[in-house]
Structure 1
Amino acid sequence: MRIAVTGGTGFLGKYVVEYIKKENYTPLIISRNITDNSKKDYEWRITNYTKEDLIDKLFDVDAVVHLAATRGSQGMISEFHDNEILTQNLYEACYELNITNIVYASSISVYSNEKLLPWTEEQPPLPKLMYGVSKLACEYIGNIYSEKKGLHVKNLRFAHLYGFNEKNNYMINRFIRQAFHREQLVLHAKSVAQREFLYAKDAAKAVVCALKQGKLSGTFNIGSGEALTNYDVANHINNIFENKGNLLIEDPTADEGIRSSYMDSSKAKSVLGFWPDYTFSEALTEIRTLMKGLDYVPLWY
């Protein structure tokens, strides 16, 4: 089976492409830009994501994993409209080419009501950020094409993703690099909110589980089953990276400014056959081993 991966050079895309190959399928990277390494390791095609160009690029494909998206600054919905247009163009091209097996990467960001934790697929979504609004809009586009045009779109709502060598300064990635260098980790406030994190390798596994259900449509929560406070995250990282106790909480009485976010992923287990392979600590152990093989690990990006 030849599987096209839009956004295949991105953070999650690299994991998905590797997992597809491990399962003895043939990955095809679809992207606006292709890195030199991707050119060497995998088949790739550059696209501008118009319907016509996608029809040209996907002519020999059996299934599609749709990861391509712009994140934006969260303030203006206009920053995300390209994602919705891209998604419809892709589904139109798939319809024309009779490619019906599609997996779409959605997000836990479509939820927000803490009174309903853990969130299930049957609950009404309530995004609080424009990113979540756009993800939900793309889910609905997929649902329409599944119902009216015979596509089988599987929307996977991933928990907060993390992985190896992600080049940003989000808390979890910054803490990993700081602990690697035996630096002190700093929490600016008390730690109460519990959030669910998912190793990107497990997210890639979920994508392949969904691909194996070619005639299935619907929405599925994909999580790790672990809900951790920021303090838990910092402690786990320090323990795994042999930086134990090197943690400062600046103001234990302050509001940390985040809310709990975790899901019930039992539907994915029963319908897709997906179970995460890694606990948070197990994933950190693997990440640390991989980091030791890097020539240089910066504290900040």
Structure 2
Amino acid sequence: MKILVTGGAGFIGSHVVEQLQQAGHTPIIFDDLSHGMREHISEGIELIVADVRNKAALEASFARHSFSAVIHLAAQTLVPDSLEYPVMDCRINLEGILNVLECCRKYHVRHVLFSSSAAVYGDNLNIPLQETESLLPTSPYGITKMTTEHYLRIYHELYGIDATVFRFANVYGERQGEKGEGGVVSIFCKLLSQGKPITVFGNGEQTRDFIYAGDIARAIVAALPLKGYHTINVSTGKETSLNELIHAFEFAVGHKFDVIYEKPRPGDILHSVLNNDNLMKYLKIKPNMELAQGIRKTYHWYVGK
């Protein structure tokens, strides 16, 4: 199948494109390179350099190709930026998806697969969080993700476009964080590669659900045949404390290092984990990357880049 991947030169997008190729599909990348990088793209893959807000450029790509599906990853992904620049966040995330959906409607593309986020749940402590939980996002970023989910549902109900919504847990992996897509793993990679200590806010017993980008990509590719409207958490379903993450980094680095514990930051969530039963129900897969191995791969990539 010929698949359009918006944001395909970015962190998660580049993993998705790799696995699409391995599965025998033909990915076409649509990316403005504000966060993505040409170096992430294998030779021979078509790259359209444009912003998803540019409807003319987007429509031209639909007119030139006959896409079987769109994997929509292009987005403004930074919560702090959404707080400071909510209009910009809204335009990229909502105008972008509407342009994609209108092109799908006009050119009869039957399936849109969308990268949502655990941010739609807000500060919900009813963990592990299931897809049926009520949504109460606490940032403009989370609001745009939640709103996009509703647009996808409506376009499915009104126009018959199949839609698969993926709510990602804490994603990590190679190629993360070079242009603002960072998380705690990429922050630790940068500091440790420079021989600097790492800082933990709190006692390190706060937990997150760390999911490897390759497992994210595997889920997205596996969902291409799905029909209907589905919402799927993509997560390990396991809580990992920051202290356990530090132990994984010690294995990756090969020695212990200095850790500075400071006071907890106001507003930080203490525990976060997503239920992943729907991964098995709809896609028949479970994440298979063990944390220690994934952190080792990520750290060695970071040091060698």
Letter in 1 for 2:301: L
The aligned residue for residue 94 of structure 1 is 104
The aligned residue for residue 271 of structure 1 is 282
1:84-123 paired onto structure 2 within 5 Å: 84-123=94-133
CA distance in 2, matches of 1:188, 1:263: 22
Pairwise CA distance, 1:48: 4.2
State the Cα RMSD in Å. Answer: 2.1
Aligned 8 A contact 1:3 1:65 in 2: yes
Letter in 1 for 2:25: Y
* Residue identity (%): 24
Pairwise CA distance, 1:65: 0.2
The aligned residue for residue 247 of structure 2 is 235
Letter in 1 for 2:21: K
The verdict on how the C-alpha distance between 1:218 and 1:242 changes in structure 2, with shifts beyond 3 A counting, is same
CA distance in 2, matches of 1:84, 1:20: 26
Pairwise CA distance, 1:25: 0.8
Letter in 2 for 1:55: E
The aligned residue for residue 69 of structure 2 is 63
Equivalent in 142, 164, 167 of residue 174 of structure 2: 164
The aligned residue for residue 57 of structure 2 is 53
Letter in 2 for 1:5: V
CA distance in 1, matches of 2:42, 2:216: 24
CA distance in 1, matches of 2:130, 2:285: 16
Between stretches 125-134 and 70-79, larger displacement belongs to 70-79
1:77-226 paired onto structure 2 within 5 Å: 77-82=86-91, 83-166=93-176, 167=178, 168=180, 170-213=183-226, 215-226=227-238
Pairwise CA distance, 1:95: 0.9
CA distance in 2, matches of 1:39, 1:200: 17
The verdict on how the C-alpha distance between 1:65 and 1:165 changes in structure 2, with shifts beyond 3 A counting, is closer
CA distance in 1, matches of 2:183, 2:265: 15
Between stretches 33-42 and 166-175, larger displacement belongs to 33-42
CA distance in 2, matches of 1:255, 1:39: 42
Pairwise CA distance, 1:279: 1.6
What 5-or-longer segments of structure 1 have no aligned partner?
295-301
Letter in 1 for 2:279: A
Deviation per CA, 1:264-299: give whole Å up to 9, x if none.
0101211122311202112112224434543xxxxx
Aligned length: 290
The verdict on how the C-alpha distance between 1:21 and 1:249 changes in structure 2, with shifts beyond 3 A counting, is same
CA distance in 2, matches of 1:289, 1:192: 26
CA distance in 1, matches of 2:96, 2:231: 20
Letter in 2 for 1:262: V
Q: TM-score, normalised by structure 1?
A: 0.88
Give SS of 1:57's match. helix
Between stretches 216-225 and 110-119, larger displacement belongs to 110-119
